[in-house]
Amino acid sequence: MGHINIGRVIAGGLLAGLIINISEFILNGVVLAQSAEAAMRALNLPPIDARMIVVFVLLGFALGIVTVWLYAAIRPRFGPGVQTAVCAALTVWFLAYAYPSAFMAVMHDVSRHSVG
């Protein structure tokens, strides 16, 4: 088993985090901006402010670091390359996006059908 170079994990993770933050900005700040604002109003929540954006950006960088760390951790078993990177990325995507979204969809569906 090899040693994980933490410096390279952080550097690669920050780059991955930058890509995550740029893509999240394009998706949520441009493409879905009006829908998100309408959803926040419908839920009677305040609009997203600068403090929230700072937290989202920090979480984007943390997600990038975790993704690169996971790649470095599974690389000895799966070997270097694109296939291993895709495996790490899909794992993080599932845990960070797919599972929580499915959870919220099920909770919304259950609460909608159990009322009334």
In angstroms, the CA 69 to CA 6 distance is 8
What secondary structure does DSSP assign to 13-70, as a single string? HHHHHHHHHHHHIIIIIIISHHHHHHHHHHTT-PPP-HHHHHHHHHHHHHHHHHHHHH
- pLDDT band for 43, please (50, 70, 90 cuts): confident
What is the 3-class SS of 73-105, one letter each residue? HHHHHHCCCHHHHHHHHHHHHHHHHHHHHHHHH
The whole-number average pLDDT for the span 34-58 is 91
pTM listed for this prediction: 0.82
Structure tokens at 104: 């919220």
Question: Average model confidence (pLDDT) for the chain?
Answer: 91
pLDDT band at 110 (very low <50, low <70, confident <90, very high): low
